[in-house]
Structure 1
Amino acid sequence: MTPQLITLVDPYVYEALQSLDEKDVVIETARGTVRGKVKKVKPDHVVVEEKGKDFYVRICQIIWIMPD
């Protein structure tokens, strides 16, 4: 039997993040705040560059997003 992969995608958050591609943002997560430039947006995570380092944030952990 082949294992099945199940992912939950929040299409509205995904779409909002895509509209902020290459823009500075503040993202509040369950573990704290990430501030930086949106570098990549995938259905399950976003890559934010902060002070030259990449942070991979799972979309399901995002509480709110604000353009900076």
Structure 2
Amino acid sequence: MQMQMPQPVFHIDPYVYQTLQTVVGKKLVVDTPRGTVRGLLADVKPDHIVIKAVDSDSTFFIRIQQIIWIMPE
């Protein structure tokens, strides 16, 4: 009998994912439980987004599940 290994489970919101893909390369304001992040949307994955800050060399990786709201800047 083989022992099965636990499998990670990701909850993907397809509407948010598809909408975010349409604004790659644009400036956004993203609110999370840890605060607000402003910058250029560099990439979108099913479970996270990548924001590059405009005023510094900072890069933020934000889980889509942690996004409260998104607004174009």
Equivalent residue in structure 1 for 2:40, among 37, 42, 59: 37
Shift of 1:2: 2.3
Moved over 6 A (4+): none
Return 5+ residue gaps in structure 2 as ranges.
none
User: Could you tell which deviates more after superposition, 9-18 or 58-67?
Assistant: 9-18
> Normalising by the residue count of structure 1, what TM-score does the alignment of the two structures yield?
0.93
C-alpha RMSD over aligned residues: 0.8
> Normalising by the residue count of structure 2, what TM-score does the alignment of the two structures yield?
0.87
Higher relative contact order (CA 8 A, sep 6+): 1
Bigger CA radius of gyration: 2
Count residues in correspondence. Answer: 68
More strand by share: 1
Q: Counterparts of 2:57 and 2:21 in 1: how far apart (Å)?
A: 21
What letter matches 1:27 in structure 2?
A: V
What is the percentage of aligned positions where both structures have the same residue?
A: 50
